[in-house]
Structure 1
Amino acid sequence: MRRRARAHGLEALLALAWAAGVLAGAEPAIPQGWTQVGTNRQGYEELENGRDGSVLIRVPAGEFVMGCTDEMSRSDERPAHRVSLSAYAIAKHEVTREQYARFCAATGHELPYRLEELPNDRPMTNVTWAEAVAYCAWAGVRLPTEAEWERAARGVDGRRYPWGNEEPTLQLAALGDSFLASMQVGVSPVGARKKGASPVGAFDMAGNVWEYCQDWYDARSYELQGAGRNPAGPESGVHRVIRGGSWGSVPERLRCSARAREWPEVRSRHVGFRVAR
């Protein structure tokens, strides 16, 4: 317990390094080695990262209401509060097994247990938070903050789920027992459920796998931070924030405002990540 309660030095350094751009509020320019893909169906510009092949969606600066106060909300989602974000970019898909294997081959990082059993188009799971951050450093990106993640998932209209207020179905998200209904075990290919796209055009922001965020988790963080610009969560903590629910989650956990936590050193087949910049 004491070991888990200590903030890991490596994690703290990585978090500070990759949060610097967020806290500075810099506009995301097109980096060297990246290319403009075009505009997606939702009207947002997309860029491709030449290092890992990920496609990122440019989200303009602006405000949205973060959190929830309706009857389905939990205490850590309250109060709903207005947040202002600088422009940023977030990945269209979760990082895949193929992308992570490329990172391991390039850097000498150890392949996680049973990685070879995952098809290439499945989201990468069974990685720790620090391993996800190491991947980001290699690819020239970072993990999204919790606020950035929620803005990309729900847009600015306060919807309950990425696709709207309609309750989840197997056509919209991989959730609950969908792995049994579809004769699959665990995760689905990234981007398989086109109807479940978020307002900015990101896929699988509800279901499939939980996704690491940059922030430390605090059940009272919304009470303590209130409204603000580019919130990055507590300065320290024990758990990291995860968002979005997984293929094993009940519908309530797939809501855009639903928060959860994970030990940063734990590997789980329910947890993966997407990148941001």
Structure 2
Amino acid sequence: MSLALCLFLLLPTLVCATEIEDFKKGVVKITAQVNGQPMVGTGFIVRLDKDAAYIVTAAHVISGDSKPQIWFFPHPHQSFASQVLGIDGTNENGLATLRVSESIPDGLVALPLDPTTQTSGGETITFIGFPPNLAPWTVSTGSISGRKGPHLIFQALVEEGHSGGPLLFDGKVIGVVTEAEGRLGYAVPTAVLAIALKGWHVEPSGSDSLSLEISGADGAPMVRIPAGQFETNAEERSGTGEITEGIRHTVYVEEFFIDKYEVTIERYGKFLQVTGRTGPEYWGQIKMPQDADRSVVGVTWHDAKAYCHWARKRLPTEDEWEKSARGTDGRIFPWGNDPPTSKFTNFATFGDFALSKLSTVGSFEKDRSPYGVYDLAGNVSEWMADSWNASGNLDRDAEETVPGSRKVIRGGAWNTKDEYLRAALRTSASPTNVDFGLGFRCVQNPGTSP
């Protein structure tokens, strides 16, 4: 990650801005009525299901209020009612857990817990909260001083609005901020939190890492797409080129990683070398290194599936592909709603095929989705895992494929017109079809070993 993406916080420690922004998606603002007075505190998500978010905070932040209000980072101006699942109000450093189960917004994350790290003092920590008179989701840093009984002590400017927030070290939660005393803060260790969550029957679901990018087994960079809903109106392109708009509906997609770029000639060549498969018919025309980073084309659906399997990945479903391209704001193209021009992506060049017709992957900065995935509008169209059916059938399932059935294709290409670059557009072809404007990329599930 480049230094341009990093920032210095309150202490001389370097923290990556993109990573901090991702942590904020797991931190919440909590407002409650405590002893007749308004209270503002912090909490963080420890478990995220399709229809519920489970949140931990300090007990005194919500004590006496059965329905505290929750504010999520992706929707900072909308509050959500919560239910108190458990609270330990018997001591000043007690914890509580809440559940929000109404229309969970997209873009949230469950923060990973670390109950095993032993701090010796001097470690730099980060915490996020809502101190008075400062911006919401303020990021602060401090250092571990030691322990007072079972509690962690850290040196930092800690205020009441930080109570209930996560104490972060090395990308994971090591404690829950529960008390402030001058320039000293106190936190309940995650090992204690884990015991409390078990008693409240809440199983943490935070991943081992909040990395936005990983490398696949083939060495290709992959981008994380968070779990959540998005709205689609899948459009169909017929064999005559006529476009029909589909039914608008909401789709839920689980978290996954997708190749940042289309599979390149160089990576596909390594696959051919290892497996002994035959390359596309133009393979003898390739000149290295100038063609290495061009997208591979002229492969069948079976070829694409075989490559992904070799790389310990799979082809994307069309819902996964569309969310990667459009995000959740309903945009028409990966870059937004502006009509495409030659500055946006590679399209409408037409003519006979030549390798020079293919742009090197990632060379059009504007053809970049909200998640940082490149070339989803133009350059080459891409094979999907799904078998073709009518867009009116909302129950699309790549696992229920019919042998020999036509396969879905998404995205525009160097040899298509501008109206075919729309992210919602879908078409199809026989799985044995070969087209010099058709390539692919792969996806993988979280936790898959490279």
Pairwise TM-score range, normalised by the shorter structure? 0.7 to 0.9
CA distance in 1, matches of 2:314, 2:261: 14
**Offset at residue 185 of structure 1 (A):** 3.7
Out of 379, 398, 404, the residue aligned to residue 208 of structure 1 is 379
Q: Which has the higher helix share?
A: 1
Task: Indicate the residue corresponding to 1:112 in structure 2.
Answer: 280
**Offset at residue 198 of structure 1 (A):** 0.5
TM-score (norm 1): 0.75
Q: Which amino acid aligns with 1:271?
A: L
Native 8 Å contact 1:147 1:231 kept in 2: no
Unpaired runs of 5+ residues, structure 1, are 1-24, 28-37
CA distance in 1, matches of 2:273, 2:393: 42
**Offset at residue 233 of structure 1 (A):** 7.5
SS at match of 2:366: helix
Between 1 and 2, higher relative CO (CA 8 Å, sep ≥ 6) is seen in: 1
**Offset at residue 142 of structure 1 (A):** 0.5
Q: Which amino acid aligns with 1:223?
A: G
Task: Indicate the residue corresponding to 1:48 in structure 2.
Answer: 215
Task: Indicate the residue corresponding to 2:299 in structure 1.
Answer: 127
Native 8 Å contact 1:44 1:200 kept in 2: no
SS at match of 2:305: helix
Please list, as runs of the form range in 1=range in 2, the aligned pairs for 1:49-64 lying within 5 A after superposition: 49=216, 51-64=217-230
CA distance in 1, matches of 2:399, 2:418: 26
Please list, as runs of the form range in 1=range in 2, the aligned pairs for 1:199-238 lying within 5 A after superposition: 199-218=370-389, 220=390, 222-225=391-394, 231-232=397-398, 235-236=401-402, 238=405
CA distance in 2, matches of 1:165, 1:179: 28
Report Cα offsets for 1:158-198 as digits up to 9, x if no partner. Answer: 00000000011111110002889xx9842111100012201
SS at match of 1:211: strand
**Offset at residue 80 of structure 1 (A):** 1.3
CA distance in 2, matches of 1:250, 1:44: 36
CA distance in 2, matches of 1:155, 1:44: 18
Task: Indicate the residue corresponding to 1:265 in structure 2.
Answer: 432
Report Cα offsets for 1:125-154 as digits up to 9, x if no partner. Answer: 111100111101110001100000000000
Out of 318, 328, 332, the residue aligned to residue 160 of structure 1 is 332
**Offset at residue 234 of structure 1 (A):** 5.5
- Cα RMSD for the two superposed structures: 2.6
CA distance in 2, matches of 1:83, 1:205: 19
Out of 420, 435, 445, the residue aligned to residue 253 of structure 1 is 420
CA spacing shift, 1:234–1:253, aligned 2, 3 Å: farther
Q: Which amino acid aligns with 1:165?
A: N
Report Cα offsets for 1:220-277 as digits up to 9, x if no partner. Answer: 2x32225xxx843753263111111100111110000011111110111110001101
CA distance in 2, matches of 1:130, 1:274: 13
SS at match of 1:196: coil
CA spacing shift, 1:178–1:202, aligned 2, 3 Å: farther
CA distance in 1, matches of 2:218, 2:401: 30
Q: Does 1:276 align with 2:443?
A: yes
Query: % of aligned pairs identical?
Result: 37
Native 8 Å contact 2:259 2:373 kept in 1: yes
Please list, as runs of the form range in 1=range in 2, the aligned pairs for 1:91-106 lying within 5 A after superposition: 91-106=259-274
Q: Which amino acid aligns with 2:398?
A: A
Q: Which amino acid aligns with 1:187?
A: L
**Offset at residue 68 of structure 1 (A):** 5.1
Q: Which amino acid aligns with 1:276?
A: V
Query: Larger radius of gyration, structure 1 or 2?
Result: 2
Native 8 Å contact 2:340 2:418 kept in 1: yes
**Most deviating of 243-252 and 106-115:** 106-115
Q: Does 1:67 align with 2:239?
A: no
**Offset at residue 113 of structure 1 (A):** 1.2
CA distance in 2, matches of 1:187, 1:234: 33
Q: Which amino acid aligns with 1:216?
A: S
Please list, as runs of the form range in 1=range in 2, the aligned pairs for 1:125-204 lying within 5 A after superposition: 125-177=297-349, 185-204=356-375
Aligned length: 226
CA distance in 2, matches of 1:191, 1:178: 20
SS at match of 1:147: helix
**Offset at residue 115 of structure 1 (A):** 1.6
Report Cα offsets for 1:24-44 as digits up to 9, x if no partner. Answer: x9x9xxxxxxxxxx9xxxx97
**Offset at residue 117 of structure 1 (A):** 2.3
CA distance in 2, matches of 1:55, 1:136: 14
**Offset at residue 55 of structure 1 (A):** 0.8
CA distance in 2, matches of 1:63, 1:249: 30
Q: Which amino acid aligns with 1:63?
A: Q
CA spacing shift, 1:174–1:80, aligned 2, 3 Å: same
**Offset at residue 200 of structure 1 (A):** 0.6
Q: Which has the higher strand share?
A: 2
TM-score (norm 2): 0.47
SS at match of 1:223: coil
SS at match of 1:203: coil
Task: Indicate the residue corresponding to 1:21 in structure 2.
Answer: none
